[in-house]
Amino acid sequence: MNIKKAILIIGVIVVIVSCATNPFTGKKTMAFVGNDQLFPASFAQYNQVITESKIITGTKDSEMITRVGQRIAVAAERWLNANGHQGYLDDYKWEYKLIESEQVNAWCMPGGKIAFYTGILPIAQNETGVAAIMGHEVAHALANHGQQRMSSGMLQQAGGVAVAVATGNQSAEKQQMWMQAYGIGSNVAGMLPFSRSHETEADKIGLYLMAVAGYNPDEAAELWKRMKANSGGQAPPEFLSTHPSNDSRIANLQALAPKAKAEAKKYGVTSFRPIN
């Protein structure tokens, strides 16, 4: 028991000292796994996905994905440099791939490895819609959300160990009951809100990035209206979801769009590319 308590105490110390700062919010975030470990693993995983997928090249759509990605990357660097975070992207290895798949999906891995699936293009509908998606996905990487989710998962596991230690002298049935209660509680009260906050944060950062890149941020809310229509109304209640509800997201994007336009003006962007 003393050994286990010592391990838990060490774990608490690790939680306290293993922090990073989110450059977009200034908040301290959990960082149990550094980028020196995270990026190589991310790059390897990306290469595996690319190897196993059909990559679209030499088409207008593939060229658009690269073009938008490069503009978002430039916008991110401009914003970070202007706000005192020079060199933040030094270890990023930007890459943009269009994958042939019916999946309605896109993602950006830690370190700047981006994939778009052809299945999401009809919902994006235009280059500005692609920029809204791209900005959001890149924002996840820039804000170290992958790192934070890995860290929170480790913390949740440590909590499970603590529950097991605390109930070690009880019957197997009671131990199982407590572990189930902890699993449900930590997800609904901890992990899911944590994930939703990441989505909302990425929406805001992504909106700013697309605006600084010269894309009209008003289109982000329109994109999510199309996402909502495509979902067929089958989304779970917000408190049981890793994402905000579509209606919450649309309202938030509409409220943030004027702020994104004001931010873009700081970088000389006074008009946006046509939506087509």
Instruction: Give catalytic residue positions.
Output: 137
E strand residue ranges, 25-151? 28-30, 55-56, 95-99, 106-109, 113-117
Closest CA to 263 of 198, 222, 215, 209: 209
**Token pair recorded at residue 20:** 């990073």
C-alpha 144/C-alpha 24 separation (Å) is 10
Contact 260, 211 (CB under 8 A): yes
- How many CB atoms lie under 10 A from the CB of residue 171? 9
Residue-wise DSSP of 88-142: TTTT---EEEEE--S---EEEETTTEEEEEGGGHHHH-SHHHHHHHHHHHHHHHH
**Token pair recorded at residue 232:** 């067929």
**Token pair recorded at residue 123:** 């919902």
C-alpha 146/C-alpha 140 separation (Å) is 7
C-alpha 223/C-alpha 216 separation (Å) is 12
